[in-house]
Chains A and B, each alone.
Chain A
């Protein structure tokens, strides 16, 4: 957080507020971008269902965030979780949020968009087979039990931030939380029925690139807004959000060339996400030069996991673990090595003589994945005992769009018979009864 803000935290600043209102809208757009990115990566028969999981995350997470999520994350509480002081937006008004120069309401809205996209990210592990109703319930519970807790640890006065862990824009609560929860969700929900038997290919790489582009665009608000001001930290994070993904892209190109002799478009879209995630925790803490190094070095473990994961039996479908979990993990540790007080005004890393910083980063990188994985695993196991989490094999084969939503992404209209309100549409009639075999 910008030290200048800490000093002048008594009044609302109009410039800061204007930027934070903009940044909030930018981050909300990221979730729609993610929907497009994910929709392009699945088969055409599951396009709408995949996109709708992101839309559902917006609906569910805003409501749970306003009800108790924000309070559990940011109200006064214990080391583990916040209290009920801000439940149902109690005490959230026009006065500046402590430590910032923006109205508490704006701070709440900005943080809400983070909760939304994190919930949406987890859906990437379970697309193409998880029931839509089960996902709605999962999204609501996960946003409170996992996101709000980890947001308290990393942002809201929990043990990691109090101890001294540096996490600029959500390496803990957003990236590692979604990545390692996705792994747990994929394990509990199980693989798609065709996984490992058939090639399951992205159906529209243009959606994937456009979605990645919208995510990058929105990420300037995500990282650039996480200084809660137009001060130095936000400016540094904004520029680093440009530098790091560019380096990740170039390294990804090189890795693609070495491995397959061709640079791939879906790979490039993935590299943009990886680069943005890498700089998320480190944005306002490392120099532009180290941000570029982070983009290049951090791409390596993510690429390795993306190549390795499909050879396992774990159908973590859209590789949330690799693109978010591993990249967030790398970014958090990178701060411990290369943070510079001369750039961030807060703390040095190991390379600049502060070993304790590395210790706190390592603690965050160990505790966050453990909590996210275990909590999500238990949550879905309990849900699975009470309701079916996934659709039937037959419906999965037909496609989630038709079976879950009664719509198609690419409807032709051929053979569609208009149904008037008088006719009885609720009971479809077989045209011919099958002969008994």
Chain B
């Protein structure tokens, strides 16, 4: 699952994911363009419209029963109600392998000890 959220809400999303006991994910800083207003900045005589906004992209691989809790966590943590809160895309995973043990699929995305 891929969730794209506001950078200033990234901490809230992290908190919500921990609460939902979703323990495996990665995040990266990305720039994107959604429906939000363009930001205007001025540097000396140069005025620019910033077409791209900073976003944070979460990639979460979970087994089926964790899909809804993870979606809820991303929504609850990332929502401000303003345009630009981001999107969540849930996509099927063809295969997953845990490198350390060679476990595949369901075993690979289930946290150790869960």
Interface check B47, CB cutoff 8 A: yes
Cβ–Cβ contact B48 & A397, under 8 A: no
Cβ–Cβ contact A428 & B38, under 8 A: yes
Interface residues of B in 48-92 (CB under 8 A from A): 48-52, 80, 82-83
CA gap between A430 and B47 in the complex, in Å: 18
Contact of B35 among A413, A415, A430 (CB under 8 A): A430
Of A288-296, A360-368, A404-412, the one touching chain B: A404-412
Interface check B94, CB cutoff 8 A: no
CA gap between A429 and B46 in the complex, in Å: 19
Contact of A402 among B6, B35, B39, B43 (CB under 8 A): B39
Tally A residues with Cβ within 8 Å of B. 27
CA gap between A428 and B83 in the complex, in Å: 14
Contact of B42 among A406, A415, A431 (CB under 8 A): A406
Cβ–Cβ contact B49 & A425, under 8 A: yes
The answer to whether residues A406 and B40 also contact, given A398-B8, A419-B47 and a CB cut-off of 8 A, is yes
Cβ–Cβ contact A430 & B83, under 8 A: yes
Interface check B104, CB cutoff 8 A: no
Q: What is the chain A residue whose CB lies nearest that of B7? A: A45
Cβ–Cβ contact A416 & B40, under 8 A: no
Question: What is the minimal beta-carbon distance from A264 to any residue of chain B, in angstroms?
Answer: 24
Question: What is the minimal beta-carbon distance from A322 to any residue of chain B, in angstroms?
Answer: 27
Interface check A312, CB cutoff 8 A: no
Cβ–Cβ contact B35 & A418, under 8 A: no
Interface residues of A in 413-437 (CB under 8 A from B): 413-419, 425, 428-434
Cβ–Cβ contact B31 & A407, under 8 A: no
7 pairs from A and B in contact (CB 8 Å cutoff): A198-B11, A399-B8, A414-B31, A416-B48, A416-B49, A416-B51, A430-B37
Q: Mark B1-25, 1 if CB is under 8 A from A, else 0.
A: 0000010110100000000000000
Cβ–Cβ contact A425 & B47, under 8 A: yes
CA gap between A428 and B49 in the complex, in Å: 9
Overall SS of chain A's interface: loop
CA gap between A413 and B41 in the complex, in Å: 11
Contact of B31 among A415, A418, A428, A433 (CB under 8 A): A415
Contacts of B9 in A (CB 8 A): 397
Cβ–Cβ contact B8 & A431, under 8 A: no
Interface check B103, CB cutoff 8 A: no
Question: What is the minimal beta-carbon distance from A257 to any residue of chain B, in angstroms?
Answer: 31
Question: What is the minimal beta-carbon distance from A201 to any residue of chain B, in angstroms?
Answer: 12
Cβ–Cβ contact B31 & A434, under 8 A: no
Interface check B106, CB cutoff 8 A: no
Cβ–Cβ contact B40 & A425, under 8 A: yes
Contacts of B38 in A (CB 8 A): 417, 428-429, 431
Cβ–Cβ contact B35 & A431, under 8 A: yes
Question: What is the minimal beta-carbon distance from A381 to any residue of chain B, in angstroms?
Answer: 30
Cβ–Cβ contact B41 & A417, under 8 A: no
Q: What is the chain B residue whose CB lies nearest that of A393? A: B80
Cβ–Cβ contact A431 & B31, under 8 A: no
Cβ–Cβ contact A415 & B33, under 8 A: yes
Contacts of A417 in B (CB 8 A): 38, 48-51
Cβ–Cβ contact A428 & B33, under 8 A: no
The answer to whether residues A431 and B33 also contact, given A416-B50, A425-B49 and a CB cut-off of 8 A, is yes
Contacts of A411 in B (CB 8 A): 41, 43
Contact of A406 among B41, B80, B83 (CB under 8 A): B41
Contacts of A412 in B (CB 8 A): 31
Q: Mark A373-417, 1 if CB is under 8 A from B, else 0.
A: 000000000000000000000100111001000111001111111
CA gap between A402 and B48 in the complex, in Å: 13
Instruction: Please indicate which of the listed interface residues B49, B82, B83 has the most CB atoms of chain A within 10 Å of its own CB.
Output: B49
Question: What is the minimal beta-carbon distance from A293 to any residue of chain B, in angstroms?
Answer: 45
Cβ–Cβ contact B83 & A419, under 8 A: no
CA gap between A418 and B48 in the complex, in Å: 5
Contacts of B83 in A (CB 8 A): 430, 434
Using A429-B37, A431-B34 as known contacts, list a sample of 10 further A-B pairs with CB atoms less than 8 Å apart, ordered by residue number in A: A415-B51, A417-B50, A417-B51, A419-B49, A425-B47, A428-B37, A428-B40, A431-B38, A434-B35, A434-B83
Contacts of B39 in A (CB 8 A): 402, 406, 428
Contacts of A394 in B (CB 8 A): 80, 82
Contacts of B41 in A (CB 8 A): 402, 406-408, 411, 416
Contacts of A434 in B (CB 8 A): 35, 83
Contacts of B31 in A (CB 8 A): 412, 414-415
